[in-house]
Amino acid sequence: MSDTGNKKFHAGWVIFALAMGGFAIGTTEFATMSLLPFFARGLEIDAPTAGHVISAYALGVVVGAPVFAVLGARLPRRTLLILLMGMFAIGNALSALAPNYHWMLFFRFLSGLPHGAYFGVAALVATSLVPENRRTAAVGRMFLGLTFATIIGVPMANWLGQAIGWRWSFALVALMGVATMTCVWRLAPYEPAHPESSPLRELGALRHTQVWLTLGIGAIGFGGMFAVYTYLADVLGVVTGVSAQAVPIVLSVFGVGLTMGNLLIPIFADRALMRTAGALLVWSAVALAVFPLVAGNVWLLTADVFLIGIGGALGTVLQTRLMDVAEDAQGLAAALNHSAFNTANALGPFLGGLAISAGYGWTAPGWVGSLLAIGGLALWFASITVERSRMRKLSAVRGNLPC
Ordered per-residue pLDDT tens for the chain, 403 residues: 333 344 444 777 888 899 999 999 989 887 887 787 788 888 878 777 777 888 888 788 888 888 888 888 778 888 999 999 999 999 999 999 988 888 999 999 999 999 888 988 888 888 888 777 787 888 888 888 888 887 888 778 878 887 888 888 899 999 999 999 999 988 887 777 665 555 656 666 677 788 899 999 999 998 999 889 888 888 998 899 888 778 878 888 988 898 899 889 988 988 888 999 999 999 999 999 999 999 999 999 999 999 999 998 998 899 888 878 876 666 777 778 877 887 887 788 889 989 998 989 999 999 999 999 999 999 999 999 998 887 777 776 666 655 4
Residue 112 forms part of a structural domain:
yes
Residue 2 confidence (pLDDT): 36
DSSP 303-354: HHHHHHHHGGGHHHHHHHHHHHHSTT-HHHHHHHHHHHHHHHHHHHHHHHHH
Q: How many domains does the chain have?
A: 1
What pLDDT does 205 receive? 62
Backbone φ, ψ for residue 43 (5° rounding): -95, 0
DSSP letter at 196 equals T
Among candidate residues 313, 348, 333, the one with its CA nearest the CA of residue 143 = 313
CATH code where residue 99 lies: 1.20.1250.20
At residue 49, the pLDDT reads: 79
Instruction: Name the CA radius of gyration of the chain, rounded.
Output: 21
By the 8 A CB rule, do 78 and 189 touch? yes
| Closest C-alpha to 213, from 390, 378, 393, 394 | 378
- Give one word for 381, left, alpha or beta, with left for phi > 0 and alpha for psi -120 to 50: alpha
Distance CA 322, CA 338 (A): 11
Q: Are 376 and 222 in contact (CB under 8 A)?
A: yes
Q: Which of 27, 68, 50, 48 is nearest to 338 (CA)?
A: 68
Tell me how crowded residue 76 is: count the other CB atoms within 10 A of its CB.
Answer: 15
Among 305, 310, 283, which residue's Cα sits nearest to residue 370?
283
Asked if residue 399 belongs to a domain, the reply is no
What proportions of the chain, in percent to the nearest 5, are helix, strand and coil?
85, 0, 15
DSSP 113-177: TTHHHHHHHHHHHHHTTS-GGGHHHHHHHHHHHHHHIIIIIHHHHHHHHHHH-HHHHHHHHHHHH
On whether residue 402 sits in a domain, the answer given is no
Helix 364-400 vs helix 209-221: angle between axes, to the nearest 10 degrees? 160
Whether residue 49 lies inside any domain: the answer is: yes
Which range marks the domain in which residue 159 is found?
3-394
* Structural domain contains residue 371: yes
The confidence score (pLDDT) of residue 194 equals 63
DSSP per position, 21-53: HHHHHHHHHHHHHHTHHHHHHHTT--HHHHHHH
Q: Kindly report the number of other CB atoms within 10 A of residue 196's CB atom.
A: 8
3-state secondary structure at position 401: coil
On whether residue 59 sits in a domain, the answer given is yes
Do the domain assignments include residue 235? yes
Closest Cα partner for 206 from 380, 325, 344? Answer: 325
Q: What φ, ψ does residue 76 adopt, rounded to 5°?
A: -55, 140
Distance of CA 77 to CAs 41, 64, 320, 331, 352, Å? 41, 16, 18, 10, 37
Q: By the 8 A CB rule, do 181 and 300 touch?
A: no
CA pair distance 375, 218, nearest whole angstrom: 10
Q: Identify whether 400 is part of a domain.
A: no
Give 261's Cβ-side CA count (13 Å radius).
Answer: 30
What pLDDT score was predicted for residue 204? 62
